[in-house]
Structure 1
């Protein structure tokens, strides 16, 4: 803003409070030049500290109350409890989430001396009977979730909001049933939400040091922001949305530093380079290395073969002790019958007597050749014989091992036909080649070249022996250089909805990889099946990390199947659908994951109000009317756009990306965005309550008492109470009281569904089905 009053800092108590966005600039207060001002003590903040202690105590109380119930496995505890057991047993497992949060659970188990002998196989299994320290496990997320509340309070406090706004934001979180429900169970979201909140808080504290650039405090909060960001992304990959939030604010800040008209003077390009490098180091490089560190710990702990072996390459599995794959690998000879399986989708290379239809649904014409598909189950139609491309040089009946780079042909045993691909479009992808088979006669005659394929072992050396299980390979068509490939989209009914096999022109694509699962032609007792003692191999950390990353992203994107409790993003802000976590038929008890309806609807409504206010303000400015400054006073727009706008950006960055995802989505994915919506709601309540501003002529401007002819300087308010005025503060407290009373009532009403006890009769269940929630025991 052009007026000096619009540039004032706002704060609560002794804190140097500013908006957490890089567009507001605060000049030095003129009052500080007088001796009296220099020796004045900062105002007391005892009321903030008392409120902080109270909301923190309430957070611990709501999350730890009756945490031992139920003493059974609940919902996704089957996953994250299981992973903790695998860590304690050092058995390799696979999961789509990074390791940080799961390592914390394993650390808790190690601290209490648990050996991880329970594998959390089924919901409802007893912890007591299996002697599992489940209370210690649950205490971890309960503690992290409780600590999130003071962080939320401090975000508002550090951002210069009044005590009612701090209490309202924290209160909406304290009494939210969804956050409590997640925080009381062995789940990752408490760690995710706390890390996200800490990232926001640390960045606000860092931005407040912008006038002390490169000072110790400046570096401290910048580095703590990066460390907090690393914890978010190391818990779940949706933590990237927090990077988007902070990254957007940093980008705006850096853009403003380039402005030649900056109030603090022009910055040289060298100085700007220092600022850019500092932020890049602290917010990109530091988080990345912390992220790598947790994977290093992950690999160091998981040294034994386990259920995650199948997701990794043979080279990776060879680094695990007691791995069955490497010990069962067998050299493949020509004329062996083999079963080939795709590494990612796990379908088998399959064929049958049915042919491709003459025309596909889009009107394209096929070759009408024999269908070659991917089949998910073991079957006689999955067996192929590997043949040499030409008669062997020594046709003496001796075994000849297939090697890397050999040209081979594959004969389908059941139909006695030879695998072939040619320049005909595949059924589902016109850009890829069709795979089919031809008779022996054609394969030996005019179609011979089309039946030739090269065995290309991944990371293999020239002449390396081709082995079952251990050799991941690509099957490259010799004439056209396409790679045999498959994908999850099924073929139509004419192919029994089996997977399509086609020729991928991008032969370098990592999803072109297959392996030989078994060699059924080798008779039992054959010397070829004798196991050899194999030493555990070593693989560099970078290769292991890169391979695991690829597998994690692939399987995360493949989570597209339907789930009875999945929900869409448009349902989350209004909480139209919850998730059934646990039921107990004998006592009619249930845990149903559901937020506090009053709190969620209130926060979602205020998000809409914020958008409406911004839209109306922009429209009025187009017409030459400065309504916000006239009604709310000087500086109100800067605060609304910069501070509340930053919090709204945080909500949007954690919410809208889910609309682009094709994977399964659940209500718990909204929890980080819900935290941001609570911050926005509390900020807007203060904004609306402060509609009666202090007169700027007597309050905002300070004249030099020695020289009244000098232009006045801007007076900075030292406390939120001073900025708002008594009347606005009372209105804010009244609004906060009314809102929190409704939120607490709603929390208590839905508490039996959050804590799983007491059981409700049909009338009690139906009374809570406000939006037709699919609750149990309604009859």
Structure 2
């Protein structure tokens, strides 16, 4: 089993024995294993083999990511989104997306480098890049570059963590020859940026933790701040980057807990010293990342100064900060007695009514009021027109008080075609028993016993007191005065008795953002009215934080709203077993297709060893409870701290998806898969009982005056089983493992690693046509690749 001896680099500099907390090793007391080893003569090891392997792995990463990157020369899958966003940046046109701006800004930067003007908007999958003169290879080169650099970063994580060369090669190769990582990094998508930043965060933290013996030194600060920068890049690309923050944050919390211990072997830290450690980590891992994260939003707002397709997601106040905003330019003040049509902001349906009535009973047996139906209708129609009246109205033909409608005014709405008044009352709506029904009533009732039921308050979003209501730009909630419910609609259509139109009801949750309406048009205004004369509009300013918080609210609302079904969506339980993929692109003439799928052999191996790791930890805990201690402290420390940190990284990037209700796809597992590759490499070394940095046993025998001998088997007194070449038993005596035994373990590890690489290479090559989109496959070849009933095209 693996352990934590010491490898020495050029110059004799010590390499730290472990990379992660919880165990604090600021000093090595003489009675400990580390302390015993520190007293021994040491051997300087050359690392040319690691360097050579790193160069080869990096070269292969670039080949696998860049080979044939120009194929296909058409828009593929979600390139319709992220290519479009790059074009909007280059045209400075405001757009809305549920992801932070960093990854999209990188695409825009690449387009700017090659002189692209953003004229193509990536509207449809299959649109030709060649015909539209789009530098798509340059766009794809950016994620391919980051994807290629991810592979040596994984190798460096294993190297810096002190693992043997075979273990480092296996971990890196599981990413190098993974079809999902390759496929996702060859297209204009965000995941290459996310995964690379995540791997850099882990590597930087490993380097920082190794400097724990030199706190507040220049290198200590360098790696602390670089960890923070990498973390900021993760969360500035996608909000799931918070999982990487949790991973690093958990390790930092455990480390700080160890520093806080008054019984530390090297002496207790004073509270002021502990405060310095705590403050440094807060600054480096929270404050700096957050400021960088805000900086990208500042860049986002600074670039996007023109009105665009994202306007509808923002408030009128925000839209007034954009030039060429049609909504603000076309807005007109709304006066009492105007005829208006009202539109729901989210569903774009009109407030509508017609002479038909609600049925006596609904399908669930509930009784309705049988009042006139009020519905949402998606098309322009005369039944969409309402006259807005003051609350004191007696005669609808009295138009003498032609005054503006203001924020917080109480109004009545008269339906023009049926000459009835909008109302709500304490009757359950058709679909929502907890919400109130909306209906209409006649003039006599509106001025009599139903006066209050027909009274509504206009509440302009973020409006000032007595602010004028304007068409198009004036977003407001219409609140029923007596019951304080907001007029609301949704997308589920009513049955045939309502012509499958949308339900309008009273929502008791006044704060819900989907309660927003606006006046779409005012047809009653004469064409020559001075009210239609527009003054030249000036672009207004808005504080950065106000714009940032408004955008955050919109992002999180729409992220949570991504709950609709998708033919290629999948559940987290399917991801580790690679049960299905995603069809990215097909071409019927050539029978070519790109199907997003990982390397099944690599995924199944990594998932299996995750379960093995959990089993080993469970068995070790149970055996310790029964007084059986089969692992020495260094081996256990490495297993729990280093491999355990990788396992924590996997769990933190995987398990939270079970709590999400939004659409999920296989690509969401890529960060967790990278972590599982690290666990696989580390556990493979552990299984072969190798000390990755152990010294040659013959040298130890000479330096200690002992001959190599086998460890004692006496329970509780013999050496622990895991420190080959340089073992310390439980009584503090040093025991030497023969060089022959260690050589055999190393040969076994290399053989196992070679076997793993062989089967992983086979899996990569077998599914290569689906990853690179060529060559086209016959029906028989497609069927041969449907290992788990993957929904591949051209199987007939």
Same fold (TM over 0.5): yes
| Alignment CA distance shift 1:751-1:399 (3 Å) | same
Matching residue of 1:323: 325
- The aligned runs of 1:316-715 (5 Å cut-off) are 316-356=318-358, 366-391=368-393, 397=400, 399-487=402-490, 499-524=502-527, 526-627=529-630, 629=631, 633-690=632-689, 695=711, 696=719, 700=726, 712=732
**Which deviates further from its counterpart, 134-143 or 476-485?**
476-485
Aligned equivalents of 1:53 and 1:200: distance in 2? 21
**SS of aligned partner of 1:635:** helix
Aligned equivalents of 2:371 and 2:622: distance in 1? 65
Aligned equivalents of 1:617 and 1:400: distance in 2? 80
Aligned equivalents of 2:350 and 2:736: distance in 1? 72
Aligned equivalents of 2:278 and 2:364: distance in 1? 53
Aligned equivalents of 1:384 and 1:290: distance in 2? 50
| Alignment CA distance shift 1:344-1:418 (3 Å) | same
CA RMSD of aligned residues (A): 3.2
| Alignment CA distance shift 1:725-1:382 (3 Å) | farther
Aligned equivalents of 1:609 and 1:35: distance in 2? 31
In the TM superposition, what is the alpha-carbon distance from 1:278 to its structure 2 partner? Answer: 2.2
- The aligned runs of 1:221-240 (5 Å cut-off) are 221-240=223-242
Aligned equivalents of 1:313 and 1:577: distance in 2? 40
Aligned equivalents of 2:648 and 2:108: distance in 1? 35
Aligned equivalents of 1:246 and 1:363: distance in 2? 55
In the TM superposition, what is the alpha-carbon distance from 1:761 to its structure 2 partner? Answer: 1.6
Contact 1:7 1:24 in 2 (8 A): no
- The aligned runs of 1:162-181 (5 Å cut-off) are 162-181=164-183
Number of equivalent positions: 762
| Alignment CA distance shift 1:576-1:216 (3 Å) | same
Matching residue of 2:163: 161
Aligned equivalents of 2:417 and 2:119: distance in 1? 46
Aligned equivalents of 2:253 and 2:491: distance in 1? 39
Q: 1:84 aligns with which of 80, 83, 86?
A: 86
Aligned equivalents of 1:335 and 1:470: distance in 2? 20
**SS of aligned partner of 1:372:** strand
Aligned equivalents of 1:238 and 1:141: distance in 2? 18
User: Is 1:102 matched up with 2:104?
Assistant: yes
Contact 1:12 1:157 in 2 (8 A): no
**Which deviates further from its counterpart, 678-687 or 364-373?**
364-373
Matching residue of 1:708: none
Matching residue of 1:216: 218
Aligned equivalents of 2:648 and 2:114: distance in 1? 41
Aligned equivalents of 1:38 and 1:737: distance in 2? 34
> Structure 2: 5+ residue runs without aligned partners?
695-709, 712-718
| Alignment CA distance shift 1:40-1:621 (3 Å) | closer
Aligned equivalents of 1:148 and 1:250: distance in 2? 23
| Alignment CA distance shift 1:457-1:644 (3 Å) | same
Contact 1:8 1:716 in 2 (8 A): no
Deviations 1:279-326 (A, max 9, x none): 222222221111111111111111111111121111111111111111
**TM-score, structure 1 normalization:** 0.91
Aligned equivalents of 2:759 and 2:527: distance in 1? 73
**SS of aligned partner of 1:108:** helix
Q: 1:735 aligns with which of 752, 772, 776?
A: 752
Aligned equivalents of 1:6 and 1:589: distance in 2? 46
> Structure 1: 5+ residue runs without aligned partners?
704-710
In the TM superposition, what is the alpha-carbon distance from 1:486 to its structure 2 partner? Answer: 3.9
Aligned equivalents of 1:326 and 1:270: distance in 2? 56
Contact 1:10 1:716 in 2 (8 A): no
In the TM superposition, what is the alpha-carbon distance from 1:583 to its structure 2 partner? Answer: 1.5
Aligned equivalents of 1:724 and 1:428: distance in 2? 74
**Which deviates further from its counterpart, 502-511 or 299-308?**
502-511
Aligned equivalents of 1:761 and 1:680: distance in 2? 38
User: Is 1:245 matched up with 2:244?
Assistant: no
Q: 1:304 aligns with which of 306, 319, 324?
A: 306
| Alignment CA distance shift 1:212-1:89 (3 Å) | same
Contact 1:342 1:348 in 2 (8 A): yes
| Alignment CA distance shift 1:378-1:212 (3 Å) | farther
Matching residue of 1:28: 28
Aligned equivalents of 2:506 and 2:762: distance in 1? 62
**Which deviates further from its counterpart, 52-61 or 481-490?**
481-490
In the TM superposition, what is the alpha-carbon distance from 1:392 to its structure 2 partner? Answer: 9.1
| Alignment CA distance shift 1:274-1:137 (3 Å) | same
In the TM superposition, what is the alpha-carbon distance from 1:431 to its structure 2 partner? Answer: 4.7
In the TM superposition, what is the alpha-carbon distance from 1:269 to its structure 2 partner? Answer: 3.6
**Which deviates further from its counterpart, 644-653 or 375-384?**
375-384
Matching residue of 2:784: 767
**TM-score, structure 2 normalization:** 0.89
**Which deviates further from its counterpart, 200-209 or 334-343?**
334-343
Deviations 1:153-195 (A, max 9, x none): 1111111211111000000111111111111111111000001
